[in-house]
Structures are given as C-alpha cells and as structure tokens.
C-alpha cells in the first residue's frame, strides 16, 4: 500500500495536517490532522510498503506491543482509507 | 461536518490548499495551503477567510477596517470588497509556500504584505515588475 501523491503533509501550529493538492484540491477540500505517530506512518507510506512492514517499524520505533501497534495502525488506515488517500 | 464555518467553530481551525489566483504571488493555486484559526480580532493586513452571501468561501486580505466594515482585496486583485463581521470565519495564522511552512509573524512575509498592499497603485507597479520575472 501507498499514499496518494494528491495529499501532502504540512506542519501547521505544531500539528501535522494532510491536505489535498494538485487537481484533487478542486474535487474535495478534505484535511486530516495527525499526531506524531500518525505522521511517522504517513512518511512510511510515501513509498510502497506492506501492512506487516509498517507494523514492525512502529514496534521498533515506539517500543510497544504488537496488539497496541496493530490497533493504532488499523485506526490510522481506516481514516486515510475513508479520505480516499490510500492506494492498495 | 457540513460547512467550513462549522469546522472552525468546532475545532478552532481549518486547513486547505488554495484555489484560484487572487492571492498570487503569495499563494499559488493547488500548490500552497493555509491554516486558518478562529479569532475575535482582525486587523489591517490580516489574511482572512469569509463567506460571500452566495455561500462562496474567499480568502483575501483586509486592507481597511472602518465603522465595523472590513474592506477586503486579494493580493492579485484591484477591486475592494466590503465584508461584514458576521461573514468572517477565521484568519490565516500560518501558510505553506512551495512546500515550506511560515507563520504570519515571519519577517519576509510581513514585509511583503505591507509593501505589496501599501496601496493599489504600488501593488499595480510591483505586480507588473514581478510579472516580468515570473510567469503565472
């Protein structure tokens, strides 16, 4: 999976905000606000990466158990999927 | 969440990529984005988001405030639009230009906004000079 290039991450007011750019900006003006770990996953998804690879990166970075990492990742993926930001 | 006004009232902020060329050369269509915050105080040179009577959202700069009326103009425009306070949604506190983020306190931005918008005449002259070096 990989994130669409039609969205970019901006760092406004100590927040990570993903906004639409290019021609997609005409169709929808969606933006989502991410926390720091969301921004970390966002960066990973700039290049083609598998679910399991993301999971292992999160566990490595944040030193958390697999179940917590999994539920956090699933929550993140649900949001970006719903916003049409994910290519699978 | 239906409207941008609802988003700003609920979360205190809104962010989006700009549409159109009225804030050129500061903000470029589909490339640059803005961060707009809910506020109770607006002043001259603020860039603010407001809603026209037909519901259209506009992000322009305040050039004058007099008797409770806000006089707006896009950086690339020469026509002044009168806006009432209840039409205002929020003001731009940060923006990104060519992928880099700035706050409105940034020195270069402050200098730009004051010089570029000093008067419609200076804007016309600077616009022409800028146009010689950059093709929109």
Q: Which residues pair with B61 in a beta bridge?
A: B47, B73
* Whether the predicted pLDDT of B135 surpasses 90: no
* Residue-level pLDDT at B136: 52
Dist. CA A31–CA A20, nearest whole Å = 7
**pLDDT score for B56:** 92
Over residues B6-22, the pLDDT tens digits come to 999 999 999 999 999 99
Q: Do A11 and B33 touch (CB under 8 A)?
A: no
**Mean pLDDT computed over B51-73:** 96
Closest CA of chain B from A66, distance in Å? 32
pLDDT (tens digit, 9 = 90+) per residue, A61-79? 999 999 999 999 999 999 8
Tell me if chain B has a CB within 8 Å of the CB of A59: no
**Are B19 and A21 a contacting pair at CB < 8 A?**
no
Q: Say which residue, B62 or B133, is predicted with more confidence.
A: B62
**By the CB < 8 Å criterion, does A48 face chain B?**
no
Tokens representing B89 are: 């949604």
Which pLDDT value is given to residue A20?
Answer: 87
* Residue B124 distance to chain A (closest CA, Å): 28
Spell out which residues of chain A touch residue B13, defining contact as CB-CB under 8 Å.
13
Q: In this complex, do B37 and A11 lie within 8 Å of one another by their Cβ atoms?
A: no
In chain A, which residue's Cα lies nearest the Cα of B18? A25
The verdict on a CB contact (< 8 Å) between B16 and A25 is: yes
- Indicate whether this complex's ipTM tops 0.90: no
- Work out the average pLDDT over B25-34: 94
Using alpha carbons, list the distances in angstroms from residue A14 to A9, A37, B70: 12, 13, 30
SS3 at position B68 = coil
**Which residue positions in chain A have pLDDT lower than 50?**
none
Q: In this structure, are residues A42 and A35 in contact, taking their beta carbons and an 8 Å threshold?
A: no
CATH topology of domain A2-87: Arc Repressor Mutant, subunit A (1.10.10)
Average pLDDT for residues B2-8, to the nearest whole number?
A: 86
Question: For residue B26, what pLDDT is reported?
Answer: 96
Map out the domains of chain B with their CATH numbers.
Answer: 4-133 (2.10.109.10)
Three-state DSSP class for residue B34: strand
CA angle B29, A40, A82 (to 5 degrees): 60
C-alpha distance from B25 to closest chain A C-alpha (Å): 17
The domains of chain A are located at: 2-87
Which tokens sit at A83? 């916003």
């Amino acid at each position: 999976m990989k994130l669409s290039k039609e969205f970019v991450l901006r760092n406004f007011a100590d927040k990570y905000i993903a906004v639409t750019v290019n021609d997609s900006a005409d169709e929808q003006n969606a933006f989502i606000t991410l926390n720091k770990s969301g921004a970390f996953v966002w960066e990973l998804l700039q290049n083609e990466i598998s679910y399991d690879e993301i999971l292992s990166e999160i566990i490595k970075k944040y030193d958390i158990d697999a179940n917590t990492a999994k539920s956090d990742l699933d929550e993140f993926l649900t949001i970006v999927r719903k916003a049409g930001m994910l290519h699978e | 969440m239906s409207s941008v006004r609802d988003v700003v009232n609920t979360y205190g902020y809104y962010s989006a990529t700009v549409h159109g060329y009225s804030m050129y050369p500061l903000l470029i269509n589909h490339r640059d984005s803005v961060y707009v915050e809910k506020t109770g105080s607006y002043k001259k040179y603020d860039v603010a988001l407001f809603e026209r009577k037909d519901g259209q959202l506009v992000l322009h700069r305040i050039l004058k405030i007099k008797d409770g009326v806000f006089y707006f103009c896009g950086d690339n425009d020469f026509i002044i639009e009168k806006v009432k306070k209840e039409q205002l949604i929020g003001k731009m506190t940060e923006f990104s230009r060519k992928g880099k983020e700035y706050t409105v306190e940034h020195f270069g931005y402050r200098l730009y906004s004051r010089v570029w918008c000093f008067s419609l005449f200076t804007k016309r002259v600077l616009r022409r000079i800028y146009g010689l070096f950059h093709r929109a």
